[in-house]
Chains A and B, each alone.
Chain A
Amino acid sequence: EAQVTQNPRYLITVTGKKLTVTCSQNMNHEYMSWYRQDPGLGLRQIYYSMNVEVTDKGDVPEGYKVSRKEKRNFPLILESPSPNQTSLYFCASSYRRPGGLGLTEAFFGQGTRLTVV
């Protein structure tokens, strides 16, 4: 079954304690991205990756890191979480259309609800 898997689904942590949210897809998608979703602010992109070892900042990258060492995995790292990073996080993946014609539809992971106290 084609899917994007995020872990954990729920996490409560304390300020400053490093954490990693994992994301894995089994569709051989080139493009992967991380979003956070907050009430009234919609989906905001944190980082994205066009392919292995190619990552770039989205709209709200401060306080986050990512890596793309393998095509299927795209972990999100919070080196020193703060309460303003409390949010619902989604990982998503898609194909890149040939000829530079953009992206196909995104498949989303189940979401990670993070609370930083």
Chain B
Amino acid sequence: GQNIDQPTEMTATEGAIVQINCTYQTSGFNGLFWYQQHAGEAPTFLSYNVLDGLEEKGRFSSFLSRSKGYSYLLLKELQMKDSASYLCAVDAGNNRKLIWGLGTSLAVNP
């Protein structure tokens, strides 16, 4: 089968750095996406990785290792507004749809 695993919940402190991991097993791979979703709102796109390595975008970075089926999202200088759910999704290529993780709920405390 195809599946994506992420931790259910994480807690961090304002100003700190947090790493959210995502492991995947899919029959194909056309790229991995990270989305942020605040409670009751729509997911919004954060990053896309298709090649191995680190993609940096401001306070957010995302890393991919295709051989290990592994990605992480790194959030630096955490702010209270970063409290949200972070969703990992893989474009597995088959059936042309995304495979979604259940999301990691991040709580940022003062």
A residues engaging B (CB < 8 A)?
A: 31, 33, 40-45, 48, 50, 56, 58, 88, 90, 96-97, 100-111
Contacts and interface: CB of A to CB of B under 8 A. Distances in A.
Contacts of A42: 87, 100-103
B42 A103 contact: no
Interface of B: 30-31, 33, 35, 40-45, 48, 87, 91, 93, 95-98, 100-103
Given A43-B87, A101-B30, A110 B97 contact: no
A105 B87 contact: no
A105 B100 contact: no
B102 A108 contact: no
A3 to B, nearest CB: 11
Contacts of A31: 96
Contacts of B40: 88, 111
Contact of B42 (A44, A90, A100): A90
